[in-house]
Amino acid sequence: MRKVKSVIQPGCEPRVHRVVSYERIASEWKPDLSFLVSIQSDNERVGIEQLRTAGLSNLQWVQCELLEDGDVVVPHSAKGETVVLLRESDTHHALFLTNRCNSYCLMCSQPPTQTDDSWLIEEAIDAFRHIRKAPQVLGFTGGEPLLLGLRLRRILEALAAFHPNTKAEVLSNGRLLSDQKLAKEVLDGLSISVRWLVPLYAHADFVHDFVVQSPGAFDETVSGLLTLQAYQQEVQLRVVLIEPVLKVLPDLAGFVGRNLPFVREVAFMGCEPIGFALANRDSCEVDLSKWNDTLEQASRVLRRHAIPHLFMNAPLCALPKGLWPSASKSISDWKNVYAADCEGCSVKSDCSGLFAWHEKGWKPAPLKNMKAKEVHA
């Protein structure tokens, strides 16, 4: 989630607003939305104050070069910062629903807390109202969104009501869908197309349960996956490439092919060097270039079972060339950077690059700037 330094109208409430430039107020203003007007001069600030005095009390001003028209934001005037929830020009769009979780994964990028953050539910629904141009896909993350139970359903139905052409993606460990009562409440007759992004880390319970630090999680997740199949939901399996997972990756691929052939695809993901991953560096910091044979083997197994798969958060120079067609530019826009070593690399435009915080953590492999002739060799 981006936070940008801003000078905000004193007294502006910290709730959802849509950013609009001064010139576009007339074409975008609606009485039931809150607008944060991005001003460029004192004259524009005075103009907003006059409009407020005239009755347009849903206008507030902000000074910040980093905000864009259409941003859906929450301003915090006392802190002098604006949180950008959604940005129209981004490729990937996601809303954070809770920081609570029922797992405790070794490489969790967003370490869970127990604090009551149920206000995020209303914030998400308010964000839908303030979106100017509906995204094709909107992701929901946590924590574990299924801990919201019926309130997750409410969020999904609200998205369908405001933006019927937007597809939802829910990142969930799926464990709570082993509870058939909850599964029915959340999934039965759902009016929106949802893709469930479910992490699975091994073919065996003791490995998966170790990675997610939760005894019994493997059985619950597999049961949840079968429930998603029963409700004809689309599933992408997510496999984060840390050492305990890489050690069993071909076995996991075989398990998926034999037991979960209904999954739409498997996403192999480079580990994000942040959160618990930094504390569990021994298990999480891997040089993917040393595991290329394992990645190719897992890919071969999935191909044999006709299960599509892709590689996310993995730069091209960390992958064997044969897997490049399966590599995806997946890192969220605001987290995505390229290193100085990437300058002039001939495959940069197709490469996922790195997480912005790789300097504090690690790179997924030593970077290898590609010359055009090496690429075509």
Write out the residues near ligand SF4 by the rule CB under 6 A: 315-317, 338, 341-342, 345, 347-348, 351, 353, 367-370
Alpha carbon distance 256, 242 (integer Å):
18
Residue with tokens 């074409």: 27
Sheet holding 94-96, edge to edge: 94-96, 137-141, 167-171, 194-199, 234-240, 265-269, 309-312
Say which residues have a Cβ less than 8 Å from residue 354's Cβ, sequence separation at least 6. 315, 331, 336, 337, 338, 339, 363, 364
Q: How far is the CB of 326 from ligand SF4 (least distance, A)?
A: 15
CA separation for the pair 62, 80 (Å, rounded): 10
Q: At its nearest, how many Å lie between ligand SF4 and the CB of residue 287?
A: 13
Q: Which residues of 331-358 are buried (b: 16+ CB within 10 A; e: fewer)?
A: bbeebbeeeeebeebebeeebbbbbebb
CB of 327 vs ligand SF4, minimal distance in Å: 9
CA pair distance 85, 92, nearest whole angstrom? 12
Residue given tokens 């990756």 in the structure block: 249
Closer residue to ligand SF4 (CB): 267 or 345: 345
**Nearest to ligand SF4 of 87, 358 (CB atom):** 358
Query: Tokens standing for 113?
Result: 């807390």
To the nearest whole angstrom, how small is the minimum distance from the Cβ of residue 312 to ligand SF4? Answer: 14
b/e map of 112-150 (b: 16 or more CB within 10 Å)?
A: beeeebeebbebbbbbbebbbeebeebbbbbbbbbbbee
Distance CA 122, CA 22 (A): 28
Residue type, 89: S
Contact 38, 19 (CB under 8 A): yes
Least separation in angstroms between CB 332 and ligand SF4: 17
Q: Nearest distance from residue 336's CB to ligand SF4, in Å?
A: 11
Quote the least distance from Cβ 319 to ligand SF4, whole Å.
Answer: 9
Q: Which is nearer to ligand SF4, 194 or 316 (CB)?
A: 316
Give CA–CA dist 263/261, Å, rounded: 6
The owner of tokens 């953050």 is: 117
Q: Which is nearer to ligand SF4, 142 or 353 (CB)?
A: 353
Residue closer to ligand SF4 by CB (options 74, 317) is: 317
When the beta carbons of 103 and 352 are compared against ligand SF4, the nearer one is 352
Nearer residue to ligand SF4 within complex by CB, 34 or 326: 326
Residue 136 makes CB contacts below 8 A (sequence gap 6+) with 165, 166, 167
Closest CB to ligand SF4 among residues 221, 330: 330
Q: How far is the CB of 112 from ligand SF4 (least distance, A)?
A: 31
Least Å distance between CB 206 and ligand SF4? Answer: 35
Where helices occur in 78-216 by DSSP H, the ranges are: 119-130, 150-162, 180-187, 205-211
**Nearer to ligand SF4 among residue 51 and residue 339 (C-beta):** 339
CA distance 351 to 341: 13
